[in-house]
Amino acid sequence: MKNTTKLFTSIALVLMLFLPACAKPASTTNPVSNPNSDEKVLNVVATTTMLADLSRVIGGDKVSVSGLMGPGIDPHLYKASAGDVSLMQKSDVVVYNGLHLEGKMGEIFENLTGQGYTVICVGDGIDQSKLLGWEEDDALHDPHIWFDVALWKEAAKMVADGFSKAASDHAAYFQANYKSYLKALDETDAYIRNRVQEVPEPARVLVTAHDAFNYFGTAYGFEVRGLQGISTDAEAGTADVSDLAAFIVERQIKAIFIESSVPPKTIEALQAAVKAKGFDVAIGGELYSDSLGGVGSGAESYIQTIKANIDTIVDALK
């Protein structure tokens, strides 16, 4: 029965992706209606929580945003459902990160683009010289660009320009929101840099479940070590745990961190391995890595999340 269900789901996905008759490419001349007014708005689908938030900030009341992934969802492992594909086909604009963050969805984006849908890949807007490498694959780049606020400003420009092109009547509105957001991002960057000064330089070592924070480390002066690789698809082995435990003992690191979108068992195993070597390391708290926080977390927006992360890091390491 299980195999039959998987077969039907696979057939549905193939039909929706490759048969033009299944759905007509969305037209920006016929966007959805705003339920709060007579004005027409863009129907936007964004993959991650970070991009859904960015789309709402730039789009304001001129867009209606649906997010595919909720808080705590790991985009590296996310597989689109038939409903997700249908939602994207009914949209005016699809926004995704790219750089292989949504690793299981690449073919879907390629086919949507080929069929004439408006698709914004924010990773395409980042200067290649600013992208970090992917240790597991020399041909790829680290996709976690949102951890450097300066790079997120470039992502915001991609969204603003994409929305402006999709709905040119509202271009000035989108660009004004973008400029306003840049000021808020500059303030956030300054907040991070001020808090970092509370941690002595030798203590600026960030140990997490996977290598999501390399852009953060490069931008704000932290040495970053992840137990897993850049993608959570790669599992940590016994040797990885032992080597990182030895590093923590050698450097006398006060705290290590779990992540909201990664099961805590790997970091708990690392903590136990450190204890077995005669040193106690605390779990300094939970960081938001591949998604924003949920409702009531105080980290529902990108800016709130970035500030929550730096507060957690600094309070545990200073």
Res. 34: pLDDT tops 60: no
Average pLDDT, the chain: 87
Mean pLDDT of 59-64: 98
Instruction: Return the percentage of the chain with pLDDT > 90, whole number.
Output: 75
d(CA 159, CA 149): 15
Whether 119 and 262 share a structural domain: no
The dihedral over CA atoms of 5, 10, 11, 15, expressed in degrees to the nearest 10, equals 140
Find the length of the chain.
Answer: 318
Pair (59, 18) in one structural domain: yes
The answer on 290 and 260 residing in a single domain is yes
In a domain, 119, yes or no: yes
Global pTM? 0.85
Both structure tokens of 318: 């200073």
**Residue among 56, 59, 28, 63 nearest 173 (CA):** 59
- Is the per-residue pLDDT at 291 higher than 70? yes
In a domain, 66, yes or no: yes
**SS3 for 283?**
strand
Number of structural domains (the chain) is 2
Is the domain of 84 the same as that of 200? Answer: no
What's the pLDDT at 143? Answer: 95
Distances (CA, A) of 288 to 18, 36, 72, 132: 36, 33, 8, 20
The residues, ordered by sequence, that sit 6+ positions from 318 with a Cβ below 8 Å of its Cβ are 198, 199, 200, 203
Q: Is residue 2 part of a domain?
A: no
pLDDT band at 13 (very low <50, low <70, confident <90, very high): very low
Query: Would you state the pLDDT for residue 3?
Result: 44
Taking the CA atoms of residue 68, residue 71, residue 74 and residue 80 in that order, the dihedral angle to the nearest 10 degrees is: -20
CATH code assigned at 109: 3.40.50.1980
Residue 210's identity, in one-letter code, is H
Both 208 and 176 in a single domain? no
Q: For strands 93-96 and 40-46, give the pairing.
A: parallel
Nearest-angstrom CA–CA distance, 269 and 288: 20
Residue 262 CA to residue 269 CA, distance in Å, equals 13
Domain that holds residue 240: 193-317
